[in-house]
Structures are given as structure tokens and as C-alpha cells.
A and B are shown apart, each in its own frame.
Chain A
Amino acid sequence: MITLTIDGQPVTVPEGSTILDAARALGLNIPTLCFLAGVKDNHPSCMACVVRVTGQWNLQPACATKARNGMIVASETPEVKAARKAALELLLSDHLGDCISVCQRVCPARMEIPEVIRLVAAGKMQDAIARVKENVVFPGVLGRICRAPCEMGCRRRQYDGAVAIQLIEREVANLDAAAPHRFVPTCAPPTGKRVAVVGAGATGLSAAFFLLKRGHKVTAFDAATEPGGQMRQANLPREVLDADIATIGAIGLEFRGNTRLGREVTLDELRRDYHAVILAVGPMAKTNHADLGVPATEKMIKVSAKDFQTEIPGVFAGGSCIRNGWDPARSVGDGHLLAESVDAFLAARPWQIAPKEFTTTIPKLSPAEYRELGKGANSELSVRELVSEAEKAAGRCCHCDCRAAADCKLRLYAAAYGADPKKFAGERRRLFEVIRQPGGVIFEPGKCISCGICVAIAEQAREPLGLVFIGRGFDVKVGVPLNASLADGLRKVGADCVKHCPTGALAFESAEPPRRTI
């Protein structure tokens, strides 16, 4: 047995163990990308696992350095962390892909656009409406009046026009509105908490919807007779708005019209009768500041940027009353976040707006690369009989979001180490390229970090062609030799390679990605 010290903690491991083994025995999380025990454990390459061993002038890869008696290892020092971060940043600088698609990233309502599109393309309309309503309670409305930044950002726009995302959303909503059994979300058991929402516009109703789903009782107050706020003034068929609002009514929204804050009801009363209050009163220009009872400037109510709470505890505000101008998608997004914040407040759980999700970004591509991207459209759809405009539109989506975003080790460690994907961005980058077999494994060399795990797996299995390293230096690439097909390259171990690929370079084309946690 060997005894060594890592970050001041002694640990004893069997002869032949590596520093990584010892660290894992201690429960320390040393990042590894290129390591696969028993397959690729002696040719370190990613250098994300470096540690400082006392007495050595340079850093050592923990995954392949054998532990020795009396070794003193530092794994979490600023120097080691900086080196790991730099390694990750260099890998990111040569990693071409969008972890999260642009459409999704720019959506103020945080709709999971790529997944919704894929459900629509697969003809699963019921699932699609459910997925939409996980974030957007007004698909009918937004399907008509949203500014649709998603379509501006759509990768396909550069190629032959953006995917008609708004149309898809609208069609999904139409189908639901016309269905004999409309979509009704399941709600959590009642919590016994009461929330007052002042202002029944896009923000307020959206917040009410998500609070109701979580089992809270919600009462919405509005000066108008009907709920809808500014959406009532928008250029919309009345039935569309009513249909969207009906979903909220179906899960128990209590609405009190003709009730103006500061007249028919005061903030103090609401604070007394309810566990939390949300102010979603719309543009401040149309509001009498004195009526509100919360500190506000000329243009907006003062809220904490972390959790939408005003200076009065338990009173939250969001939507146009904290912003310049009205953007219905933004209001819908605010409503959702307000609900999450208030839900946490009611449970006395700390909460704050999550930082932006980590993502790498595809730079401007060449025309040839855009053509390549265009090939990513759903090929099965073209052979199926098309049933609707929505499906036709959805079939054009190129799936530029990463199939591995939820479990990509590069992404997880990059986020954990605060790596900046653009830090070492250079002029030379990998090409956008997708090598696919229908229904099988999909290989995106742009996302490959040359870790060599798939190469080692294929070699161990004596694949006649396999995936091999071709070339050397910066230009080294993993590929099937002699331009043979991926199917020929990976006859035996395709699934294994996908399983162990630390990024989304190798994936199953049809795999539905698991939900992201970061």
C-alpha cells in the first residue's frame, strides 16, 4: 500500500494506483476528459487533470502519474486551477459547436425551442404543447405578436432562411385550442400559501400560472374588468387570448377585476392577507406611483436584480413595471422567474436568477459550412406525408444544439472552472462538418477534442478501419481512414464510443438529449 497526501489529506491506496485513483478515494473531483480506465489510461492528453507534486518542477497529469509513498500533491491551489482552466479554454478555442442553440439562448420566455420543434417534427403535438407550456403560458399570443428573436438567431437563416419558429408555436397553440380535451398541467398538492398578483397581464398571469402549478393559491387583481392587460390592446383575435388564459383558469386562478391597487385594495392589506405579493402593474407611465406603496423611480419599481424582490420583503415586481417598454415574451419570461422566486421565498429557500447557461458559440461559417449545416434537417420527415405547415417548418430545423449538452464533460468542467470559451479564440478553427448515418451514430469533428478515447476503443476492439488519428500537431483529426463511412469505421464499437465521448462529437442522431442542469 502507498500513502500520500492530497490537499493536506492523507490517503492510502494500493500499489500501482494513480494520483487520480487516490484523489477519487478521497472524494476529490479532479476533472478528466481523455481518461478511460483500462482503455486509455496511459497516454494523457487533455491536461485537465494536472496537479502539483511537491518536488517536481512542472505539473503532472493525475490520471497517469503513479502515486508514490510520501508524495505531496496539491489539487485545488490557484495555480492548478488556473492551469486546468487554461487547458479547458484552449480546448474550447478549438471546439466548434453551440451547446445551446441560438434560438433557445435568445428566447426571453425561455421556451425550449429545439425540443419543441423536434416533437412537432415527430408529429407528437400533445407532447409539444406540454413542452411549450412548461415555459410559455401564452403560445397563442406569442405565436402572433412575439418579436421572435429566435428566428433572427436561427443558424439556418444564413443558409436559406430561418426556421419558422413562431409559426410552429402558433400552430401548436391552435391545435390545442381546437382540441376537445385541452392541455391542462398537473399541479403540485396544495401548499396552503396564498399569493396576490397585482396586474393580470402577461407577467402577472404567467407568474400566477407557475405558482398555481406549484400548489399555491393565487388571486389576480386588475383594474380592468377582464384579465389580459396590454395583450387586450394588441392586434390579436380575442379568442386566442381567451384560450391561452383559459388554461390558467382551469387550474384555479381566482381573478378580481375592477380592483385597482391603492383604491379598492392597498398593498398593506395584500401583505396582511397573502403570504407574498407580486406587482405586475404594467408600464409606470400609466400608474400612479403613490398608489403602489413601494419605492419606485419615475420609470420603474426598484427591485433586486437577483430575485425581483422590492425593498419591502415579500413584495416582488416584474414585467414592464421594471423595464423600459413592453415585450410580451420578456413579460412571460419574467412571470416565470417571479413565480420561481416567490416559490422559493414561500419555502424560505435561497434563490436567485441563475447565471447564463454556459455555451460555446459557432462563429460565422463559410457558405460551404452553412450548406453542411443545412443537411442537418430532419430527413425522415421528407419521406413522411406532411400533415401541417408546422411539421413542414419543424422539419427544416438543423439540430444545431448539442445532443450532449447535458452530460458533456467539457461543458460541465468549463462551467465549473469559469472557463471563457473566447479567451484563446484564434483564427484557426475546426470546420463545421457532420458525418452521419441514418438513424445511427453522428460524428461532428468540429466538437472533437482529440482525446483519443474512441481511437483507443476501436483499436482495442481491432476494428479494421476504426476511428484513427490522422495527421499531427494542431491539425491532427480523428476520423475514419481513407474517407470510408462511419459505419465502416465503427462496425463493432459505435455505441461504446458514443458512451465514452467526453463531448458531443459522437452521439446517437436520434437520441433525445436529457434535460440540462446547468
Chain B
Amino acid sequence: MTTESYDLFLEKLLARTGRDESATIPILQGIQEHFHYLPEPVLRRASELTGITLGHLVSVGSFYHQFRFKPTGRHRLRVCHGTACHVKSSENIQEAIQRALLIPAGDDTSPDGEFTVERVACLGCCTLAPAVQIDHTTYGHLAPDTVEMMLDDFRATRHQTVSDVDAVSCHHQNGNKPEIRVGLGSCCMAKGSDELFHLLRHTVKEFGLDIPVKRVGCVGMCHQTPIVEIRLPHKPPAFYAKVTPEQAEGIIRRHFPPANLTRRLTRWINRTLEELVTAENPLEKLDQHQLLMESQPVERFLGRQVRIATEGFGEMDPLDLDEYIAHDGFKALQTALTRAPEDLIAEITASGLRGRGGAGFPTGLKWSHVLHAPSQDGTKYVIVNGDEGDPGAFMDRMLMESFPYRVIEGMMIGAHCVGAKEGYIYVRAEYPRAVSRLREAIRRMTEHGLLNHFRLHIFEGAGAFVCGEATALVESIEGHRGIPRLKPPRLAESGLWGRPTLLNNVETFAMVPWIIRHGAARFAALGTPKSKGTKVFALAGKINRAGLIEVPMGITIREIVEEIGGGVPNGKRFKAVQIGGPSGGCIPASLSHTPVDFEALTEAGAMMGSGGLVVLDEDDCMVDVARYFMSFLRNESCGQCTFCRIGTTRMWEILDRICNGKGRPSDLDDLKQLATFTEQASMCGLGKSAPNPVLSTLRYFHDEYDAHLQGRCPAGRCKPLIQYVVQENCTGCTICAQHCPANAIPITPYQRHKIDPEKCTRCDVCRTDCPVGAIHIESGGQKTAGHLHKESPAHLALVHP
């Protein structure tokens, strides 16, 4: 490319982004999107054309993980290392991929330049853990030995793209007409819902039926996706779970026989012939997948839930404006506009709503601060914080994907209350579908004249967890590195560009319309004395029914795990929940009577956080969990305050040492000291809460730390402390020996196999592949709990728009 063609590209880009320093991140995103990295000559030219210093462009670019300064391979493969993926051994997946692609240690791109492999903090599809994203395709439930399958699948199908936006249907139905609903949240999409959606539409058309096939937002039952719901007049809805494309036709046929007799005959003949060839009838399996609403697990999963932020769950087409309005959408805004801000704020205050981003600041009070804060020129801003960075959390993604109008409505009510005429929705870069749906929602609202008096922007984050911190987020919108500011002044006094700014989390805003419509009292009637209403949680990890739930505050952890989530799978023992992400902590099973309540969780050493709830079982090593979070935090610290920048790394090194069996007697004291000072002397919420994973595991699982100091990992997780041992029931089938990537198992047919501990890399392939379960993990000469369950390899995939 020549300078001239750079200019052509850049001029076009700059026309869209503007040339101010505040456009730094969008400019870099444009360059990155086009070149897949930030080439130096382009940056130089961009600097010349905008007047933004080259130093600024580079410094900002280096802060956010989205940007690269080196060319990438043709495809970007991102391995998720979120909490749920981590506890399901994402490290083993990472290693297997590196191995399969022959990527040398220390490098990230395959020698043939096909793939660049990156680690990402969380893809936000925790129910698919462990998950990998290749370009826009997501694969989940991987195991080391299905990695090759995944790569082959990607190579075979990468040219297929299925668009999201073109599929938008506008059928608006009342309850008396039949319709077919397909959940199309990101998790569902990753499990093939989109493919299914198109197939269902195609089949319906082929059958000559006039039944709308409708995409709906997240259904919440992520453990059952893809889910198809059949609505028929005067009949209870029928749910089909884990539907495969082959089953689509059967479902339609069962509920809607083809209208035209000839077509029916043609279909029957074709089908019969096909079955003769394949000798398999997918319909036979259909029944076992049908979920009846009244069936116990579904009832238990949904029964305790209360829908406020997620009202209309699995019913509405996320982008259908008419449907949203028909479901009382924008009614609250209409009411609000006729009421005085003070009056509305009093309502919010009376509802007891507290910020759902984690810290639980009273929402009414915050709004009132912004309302009364003087602004030099009268300008105020409102920001939706959709930078959901906690590994293990995906509530905000779901809300933005499934209820974009509701989030915007709540935001506009907030704007009206505080006197803001302009607002930003800050969405993290890893959520492309949330961005596209919000953009489309804004487009449609603009078309309908709903945004005539409010300027609404979408700001895409660029991959920095710390930007979930309010002041860092503001810095980021202003075009800077996401470095938190010292508070006070709070954003309410001096926020975006120095103006009073109202910043609330996605979920907080999503609750507002309901409160205005139903009144503060109904909201306040739910929950505990200090924590009112409901909370949305992303339930993931070692749990039977993972998914997205909205529950009344005050519900206990046990109720969530056992009743809603159906307990821990595979007969394992429930050990703890990690709640609140990196800022939160681990609450042991013995304290599972703890209610979900801001104060109670903090008391227990965790934190509400944004609502990630990862269930851990006996296979999970708590020291490893602490190390995992510290590793996350040390990478995500902005690097400003000494304690957070260096302290988290030193804590991580100590934890790493302990996990590797090289702990020293003084380590626990040093850990405690570092944790205390990091909590005490860091400036922002990230640093202040960074020690929580260490402090809470030290508090409840001290015995595991002690065991590690003695060279034993009770959970059988920490690789240097474990050995793989073949048991007597080995049949000598040689599968393990054939599959071992390290050649640590000699091929000895019909004899009990032996694993050479020197060669063994603890990749877990042999154990997961052993057909008779003869390979166990031992540590310190003792059998460990460590018998990770191998998920049935689920292939999934589809394409983000």
C-alpha cells in the first residue's frame, strides 16, 4: 500500500471518527480492523492528518488488548481464560492448540501464518466453557483431543457466513397465533441456533406454512441450547432443548403438518428414501429432548426467578421495536417525561435500587448528585457501563443483546432526571453482537423519531478490564489510556470532559423502566432490608443447569446452586462459589446459606460484583483459583499504583510458587502483608479489591495452602504436584499410549500401561480418553479428587455479523 492509498483509507475513516484526540480509540479500531494490526506508517500518517501525537496513538494503542503492533496470522484464534473456562482446564486447551498448530514457545502465530493464537480474559460465553473463538466463530465444550476436530471444522466451514441482521423478522404476534421461537443470544448462536433458525424458516416455507419463525433474545437456559419454543393458540408452549439441525424438520412436522398434501407426500418420500440410506431416524431421539414447562427441572430453573431486567425473557424479538412497545416498552419513559426529575428520583430512591455494577451505590442518591451538580455550560452526560469484564460474567451482554431498547429506555429516563441531553453506551470489544444490536436499535429509534432530543453514541471498548471502573471508562471515552482518576471529585461532579456525568451499569438502567411502571413499592417489596429487588446472575462452572437467571435479592447461594442450578454434575461434591469475579471471593459450601445481599456477601469476604457466579467442585484447587485471579488482575491492572502494579505480580508469583510446590514458609505472611497494603493503598476499585481472591481463599481454605506447602494438591490440579497413574482395571487397549502427545506411555497391548512421569506433561489426554477410567491423578502419594469430567464434544459455531 502506498501513502496515497493510506490517505484514501484514513480520510474515509477520519470522516467517520473525527480528528480530535477523543477519537483516538475509534481511529485505532478502524486501522486495526482494516489491517488486523497497527502498521507504523499508517499510525504516522494518521498522526499527521489529525494532529494527535504519534506518542499518544502508540501509548493508547499499547494499553488496550484489542490492538496489536505485529501482523497477525490470517485467522485470529482466541482461547478464553475466563473463570468458568479456567476451572474447566482452558490451559490444557491452550497447550493443545499451540501443539496442534506447531507454534513454538514464546510465539503466538503458527509457522504457516494461518492462525494467531491469543489468550483472552473472557469471551462471556461461560456456559460453553472451555471456549475458543476463531475469527467470529465460537467453539465450546472443548477437550484437548477435540482441538484438531475444531480446527478441521473451522478450515472446512470458514467461508460460510450467516448474517444476523438480515434475519431480523418483524412479525409481531399476539398470544393467539402460532409461532416458533428460537433463542439467539450469543451462547445459543455459538451452539448453532442461527443455523437452526434458518433451517426452521426454510422448512416452514417448504411446508407452505404461514407461521412466523422468530428470533428471541437469550432464553437463559444456556445449558439446554439451542432451544426451540413452539407456541400454539390455547396450548401450553412446547420447548425443545439441545436441538440439532436434523431434528428441525421433525419438530415442525410434529406440530404443523404440511398444508399441501402433495408437498407432504414429496417430503415423506424423500425422507423415507434418505432414511433407507442413512438407516437412522433422528426423530427417534426427539422425545428425550422435549422439555415440558411443567417438567420439574425447568420449573425449578425458572420457578424461583423474578423478571424485572429480563422481563419478556425468551418472548421478544430483541430488535422488534413494535413488539417492545406492545410489551409496555417506552411507557415508563413516556410517564417519566411528564414527571419532575425530583419526583422520579424520589421514586427510584424509594425503590431502594442500588448499582448493579458491583459496589451497590444507591442509584437514587447518585442521580440526585448529578441533578444538583453545577455544570460550567449546562452540559451533563449519561453513560451506560457495558464494559462487563469480569471473567465468568455475561449478564450485561445478555441484557444488551436481548433487551437493547430497555437499556436505552432506562438510560433516557436517567438522562431526563439529571438533565443530560447526550449519552454513551460503552460496550466491551468482545461483544460484537451487543454492539450490532444496539446500533440497530438506535437506528430504528432514530427512524421513529424516538431519539430527537437525545444524542446517543455507542463507544466500543478496546479490551481493558479496568475500563469497567467508572473514571477509567471516562478516560477511555476521552481518548486516553484507561487510567482511573483519584476520587473525589466523583463523576457526578466532574466526569466526562469535566461535566457532571451519570454512569450506571447496564442492569441498573434495565431495572428502571419496570420500577417507573410498577412503582417503587413493588420493587422494594422484593429482597432484603438493604438490598431490594432482583439481581441477574450468570450461573456457570460446575453446575448442571448453567444459564442466566434473575432472582430476588435475599435468595441463598444454596437455593441458586441446588434448586435453580440443579447442583453439581457427575456426583461431585459442591465446594464453593466464586462470586463477583476478580473483585469478589470464594464462598465455601459451608456458608451457602449466605443470602444474596450486598452486605452479607461483603461480610463473607466476597462481593456482589457484577453478578458472575461460578460454581466450583472438589476438583478445583482453591490456591489455583486464587492464582488464576491474581494472574488476571496483574494483566489487567492499569499499572499506575505501585501496590496494584507490582503487588499483584508479586502475589501471583508467590501463589505460583505455592502451586508449583516451591512455596516457602514465609510466603503466607508475605501474601497477607501484600494483600493488606494493596487493599489499603490502591486508588481505584480494581486495586482495592484485587486481594479479595487471596484473602477469601486464605480465610476459608487455609488447609489447601498448607497442603501445597507440604507438596500436595488435594484437588489434583496443580501440575507439578500431581502424577497420572494407571490403575489395575487397565485393559491394555493402548488408546492412551496412542494419544499421548508426549510419548510418555509405551505401547504395550494387553498389559497394564505405565506412564513415564518424566515425560508426562499432565495434559490430561490419556485420562479423558481412557475408555475404562483407569487413569487417576495422584498427589503426594494420595489419590486426589481430580477426575475431571469430560464433556461430550459439542461442536458449535456461528458467525457474528
B-contacting residues of A (Cβ < 8 Å)? 42-48, 50, 58-59, 61, 64-66, 82-83, 86-87, 90-91, 93-94, 424, 426-428, 449-450, 458-459, 462-476, 481-482, 489
Contacts and interface: CB of A to CB of B under 8 A. Distances in A.
Q: Which 9 pairs show the lowest CB-CB distances between chains A and B? A: A476-B639, A481-B58, A468-B59, A474-B649, A90-B646, A466-B55, A468-B55, A426-B653, A473-B637
Nearest to B65: A472
Contacts of A475: 639
Interface string B507-544: 00000000000000000000000000000000000000
A426 B649 contact: yes
A222 to B, nearest CB: 53
B635 interface: yes
B677 interface: yes
A59 B680 contact: yes
B: interface residue count bin? 35 or more
Given A90-B650, A473-B634, 10 more contacts: A58-B679, A61-B681, A87-B642, A94-B646, A463-B55, A472-B481, A473-B635, A474-B634, A474-B635, A482-B58
Contacts of A59: 680-681
B670 interface: yes
A427 B635 CA distance: 16
Between A58, A65, A467, the greatest number of chain B beta carbons within 10 A of the residue's beta carbon is seen for: A58
A65 B486 CA distance: 8
B657 to A, nearest CB: 8
Contact of A43 (B466, B486, B688): B486
Contacts of A86: 643, 673-674, 677
Between B43, B642, B673, B682, the greatest number of chain A beta carbons within 10 A of the residue's beta carbon is seen for: B642
A82 B672 CA distance: 14
Contacts of A64: 486
A463 B62 CA distance: 18
A43 B640 contact: yes
Nearest to B653: A426
Contact of B642 (A45, A462, A465): A45
Nearest to A48: B642
A473 B639 contact: yes
Interface string B755-774: 00000000000000000000
B674 A424 contact: yes
10 contacts: A50-B681, A59-B680, A59-B681, A86-B674, A90-B647, A427-B653, A468-B59, A473-B635, A473-B639, A476-B645
A463 B647 contact: no
Contacts of A65: 486
B486 A44 contact: yes
Interface in B16-63: 40, 43, 47, 53-56, 58-59, 62-63
B464 interface: yes
Contacts of B40: 482
A58 B681 contact: yes
Given A462-B53, A474-B637, A61 B673 contact: no
A366 B653 CA distance: 20
B54 A465 contact: yes
Nearest to B464: A472
A43 B641 CA distance: 9
B639 A474 contact: yes
B385 interface: no
A471 B486 contact: no
Between B53, B56, B647, B681, the greatest number of chain A beta carbons within 10 A of the residue's beta carbon is seen for: B681
Contacts of B640: 43, 45
Secondary structure at chain B's binding surface: helix, strand, loop or mixed? helix
Given A424-B674, A471-B639, A473-B638, A61 B683 contact: yes
A462 B638 CA distance: 23
Given A474-B639, A481-B54, A44 B649 contact: no
Contacts of A428: 649, 653
Given A464-B53, A468-B58, A468-B59, A46 B642 contact: yes
Given A90-B650, A464-B53, A466-B55, A83 B681 contact: yes
Between A42, A82, A449, A475, the greatest number of chain B beta carbons within 10 A of the residue's beta carbon is seen for: A475
Given A86-B673, A481-B54, A474 B645 contact: yes
A296 B340 CA distance: 95
B639 A47 contact: no
Contacts of B59: 468-470, 481
A470 B639 contact: no
Contacts of B56: 468
Contacts of B647: 90
B488 interface: yes
A29 B48 CA distance: 46
Contacts of A47: 641-643, 681-682
B618 interface: no
B483 interface: yes
A135 B277 CA distance: 100
B469 to A, nearest CB: 13
A35 to B, nearest CB: 12
A465 B56 CA distance: 8
Contact of A424 (B47, B486, B488, B670): B670
B650 A93 contact: yes
A375 to B, nearest CB: 25
B481 A469 contact: yes
B653 A481 contact: no
Contacts of B43: 482
A475 B648 CA distance: 12
A58 B688 contact: yes
B488 A66 contact: yes
Nearest to B673: A86
A472 B683 contact: no
B508 to A, nearest CB: 24
Contact of A481 (B55, B63, B464): B55
A472 B488 CA distance: 24
Contact of A83 (B62, B645, B677): B677
Contacts of B677: 82-83, 86-87
B41 to A, nearest CB: 10
A427 B673 CA distance: 18
B148 to A, nearest CB: 33
B778 interface: no
A428 B631 CA distance: 13
B409 interface: no
Contacts of A82: 677
Contact of B646 (A66, A424, A467): A424
B62 A470 contact: yes
A91 B55 contact: no
A472 B639 contact: yes
A174 to B, nearest CB: 50
B60 to A, nearest CB: 9
A43 B483 contact: yes
A379 B648 CA distance: 41
Contacts of A427: 653
B653 A465 contact: no
A463 B641 CA distance: 25
Nearest to A45: B640
A44 B683 CA distance: 8
B387 interface: no
Contacts of B63: 469, 471-472
B650 A424 contact: yes
A274 to B, nearest CB: 52
